[in-house]
Amino acid sequence: MSRRDQIRMTDAEVETFLQEHKTMAIATIGPSGRPHLVAMWYAWVDGDLAFWTFAKSQKVLNLRRDPRITCLVEDGAEYNELRGVELIATARMTEDEEQVLRFGIAEFERYQGAKISEATLPIVKNMANKRVVVKLDIERVVSWDHRKLGGQY
């Protein structure tokens, strides 16, 4: 068995890892061809992993030009603790108000740890203004968990 096979996460481990973590590095291709890298919160909406951002943001401009996107969630301070999931995907954007609001509610509930209420819904509706949702059509998942090596390199 290769070292790569030894550290690869199972599908269930990937799902758990993504649920446990809160910030994802998002890489798009900027106008000069260089990577444009930002950290974003993420959530699931309609079964798709997604994030939202302002419609006029640089990442949206980049994705309108070229929908290829790579995302990374990682963890660990020491080499033997390193874990991560890289998602190679194509971005699918929507500005549909209902879908944007649905994502906003999902993100609010994920990060606030509370259900949306009559008091908090207007806050989310206001945040949804001028935003788009970027859903990931994931083509490839690369994962690693160096803890699986048990300190043996």
CATH at 55: 2.30.110.10
Domains held by the chain: number: 1
**pLDDT of res. 22:** 96
**pLDDT of res. 149:** 86
- Contacting residues for 52 by C-beta, under 8 A, at least 6 apart: 100, 103, 104, 107, 128, 131, 132, 133, 134
State pTM to two decimals.
0.92
Q: Which pLDDT tens digits describe the chain residue by residue (153 residues)?
A: 677 788 999 999 999 999 999 999 999 999 999 999 999 999 999 899 999 999 999 999 999 999 999 999 999 999 899 999 999 999 999 999 999 999 999 999 999 999 999 999 999 999 999 999 999 999 999 999 999 988 666
Q: CA dihedral in degrees (5, 9, 11, 12; nearest 10)?
A: 140
**pLDDT of res. 2:** 77
Range of the domain at 22: 3-149
